[in-house]
Amino acid sequence: MNRNSQNGEQECTELLQTLIRNACVNNGAVDSGDEIRSADVLENFLEGPGLELETYDAAPGRRSLVARIEGSDPTAPTLLLMGHTDVVPVNPEHWSRDPFGGELVDGEVWGRGAVDMLNITTSMAVAFKRLARSGFTPRGTLVYLAVADEEANGSYGAEYLMAHEREAVMADYVITESGGIPLPSPNGLKLPVIVGEKGLFGVRIKVGGTAGHGS
């Protein structure tokens, strides 16, 4: 076993490449996203001793996956590690590489979702599996959620789960994307803590220029 496989880097890289190649592009339509493909990959990856798995379909193809490591103390606070599996659309002609190729170039994985947020969805899954396999029993229950439909308005992901599967996803604390990004300040680096995200407000706008993140 080399260093990379010991520290999970190889495992993270391969899982990230697979999720990028699944191209779970969410354009807001119910029949887009098709996150079931990445939920299935994560289910196969996590399946095994030390954890419980459940999947929830908000609509055909719009699958979210929940894994739990039961805590020893039911009164202890619970922690949710949450990553989304969908990505925003791409304009491939503006990409220097295949946005869904998941190529590994000079130690970096390329593709839509590589930094938002399949990297985190992946590394959380790898850490969660390692904890489960090691026989780790937290005091408070530890939950992993690979959620669908984050990039549109969450109707087929978080909103659905909160409305229909609240017990499965409720937690005292959540770690997810955003927050923790170092911001320089006169008193040194600050780390933001996000307490809420995001609302929906529909407008129609037309802009010209170079496409960036969030399209």
Catalytic site positions? 86, 150
Which tokens in the block code for residue 120?
A: 């985190």
The reply on whether position 58 binds Zn ion by CB under 5 A is: no
Q: Of 131 and 211, which has the nearer Cβ to Zn ion? A: 211
Minimum CB separation of residue 158 from Zn ion in Å reads: 12
CA 182 to chain centre: 21
> Are the CB atoms for 22 and 112 separated by under 8 Å?
no
Shortest Å distance, C-beta 71 to Zn ion: 28
In the bound complex, what is the minimum distance in angstroms from residue 87's beta carbon to Zn ion?
Answer: 8
Which of 12, 117 has the CB closer to Zn ion? Answer: 117
Of 100, 131, 128, the residue nearest 42 (C-alpha)? 128
Strand segments, DSSP code E, in 33-186 are: 52-57, 63-69, 79-84, 104-105, 108-109, 142-147, 173-175
**Helices 9-22, 36-46: inter-axial angle, 10-degree rounding:** 160
Residues 164-203 close enough to bind Zn ion by CB under 5 A: 177
Question: What's the min distance (Å) between Cβ of 4 and Zn ion?
Answer: 26
Judge contact between 19 and 121, C-beta under 8 A. Answer: yes
Q: How far apart are CA 179 and CA 181, in angstroms?
A: 5
Q: One symbol per residue from 80 to 99: x for binding Zn ion (CB under 5 A), - otherwise; what is it? A: --------------------
Of 117 and 152, nearer to Zn ion (C-beta) is: 117
- Give the residue with the Cβ less far from Zn ion, 116 or 149: 116
- Give the per-residue contact string, 97-126, with Zn ion (x = CB under 5 A; - = no): -------------------xx---------
Binding site for Zn ion (CB under 5 A): 116-117, 177
